[in-house]
């Protein structure tokens, strides 16, 4: 089948929503998460995000992008106020509820209540977790970066607490996300479940790769 080639001018000439859908699809499958936050009065907010990225392990840092908008971004405002937020995985059993949080609810309306998800709090973080999420990560804001080229903003947080089922933690430190029944996202609105091919050994020059077991040993799954 013949390829389609699009130039920069072709992209700029596309209808805005069509171009947005296309460009958002180009980076492939992304993690699908819910960002939990609250304002200084404790009013909870929940937003689906597909831009969470791991930035380092020592210390453990994650960041995500807040896109430009003519209206105020409740998630951004809340995190800048309280310096806390949560990252919560999306399960196959509630991905439709998670997607509904992308609707533009007024600030005084809680997405938790509107879509039927449950806020959960612990003693380490002021922001709400999602009780239904198998993986819950609580973070403290460390950096707020303005990206001038497209007026987006990046928030970077350090992990201060996490919650996940015991059976997902492997002896070598690996967290088995498939055991948690999490979903991924492509583009803006397409949700997917995954199927593992293999875990592979640490790559070294001139040495063959070998498959790892679920526990991290050098044998096949």
Residues 68-122 have pLDDT tens digits of 876 678 999 999 999 999 999 999 999 999 999 999 999 889 999 999 999 999 9
pLDDT at 5: 93
Q: Say yes or no to pLDDT of 216 above 80.
A: no
Domain ranges in the chain are: 27-212
Residues 120-155 pLDDT 10s: 999 999 999 999 999 999 999 999 999 999 999 999
Per-residue CA distances from 62 to 86, 89, 139, 160, 192 (Å): 11, 14, 8, 11, 22
Exposure string for 172-195, b = 16+ CB within 10 A, e = fewer: eeeeebeebebbbbbbeeebeeee
User: What's the CATH number for 27-212?
Assistant: 2.30.110.10
């Amino acid at each position: 089948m013949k390829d389609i080639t699009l130039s920069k001018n072709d992209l700029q000439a596309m209808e805005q929503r069509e171009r947005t859908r296309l460009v958002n699809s180009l980076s492939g499958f992304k993690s699908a998460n819910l960002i939990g936050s609250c304002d200084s009065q404790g009013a909870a907010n929940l937003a689906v995000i597909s831009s969470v990225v791991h930035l380092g392990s020592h210390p453990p840092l994650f960041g995500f992008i807040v896109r430009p908008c003519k209206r105020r971004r409740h998630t951004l405002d809340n995190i800048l106020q309280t310096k806390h937020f949560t990252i919560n995985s999306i399960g196959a059993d509630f991905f439709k509820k998670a997607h509904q949080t992308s609707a533009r609810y007024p600030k005084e309306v809680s997405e938790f209540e509107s879509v039927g998800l449950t806020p959960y709090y612990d003693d380490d973080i002021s922001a709400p977790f999602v009780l239904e999420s198998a993986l819950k990560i609580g973070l403290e804001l460390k950096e707020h970066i303005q990206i001038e080229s497209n007026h987006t903003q990046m928030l970077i947080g350090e992990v201060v607490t996490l919650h996940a089922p015991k059976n997902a933690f492997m002896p070598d430190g690996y967290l088995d996300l498939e055991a948690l029944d999490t979903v991924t996202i492509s583009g803006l609105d397409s949700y997917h479940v995954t199927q593992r091919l293999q875990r592979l050994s640490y790559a070294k020059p001139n040495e063959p790769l070998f498959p790892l077991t679920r526990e991290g040993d050098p044998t096949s799954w």
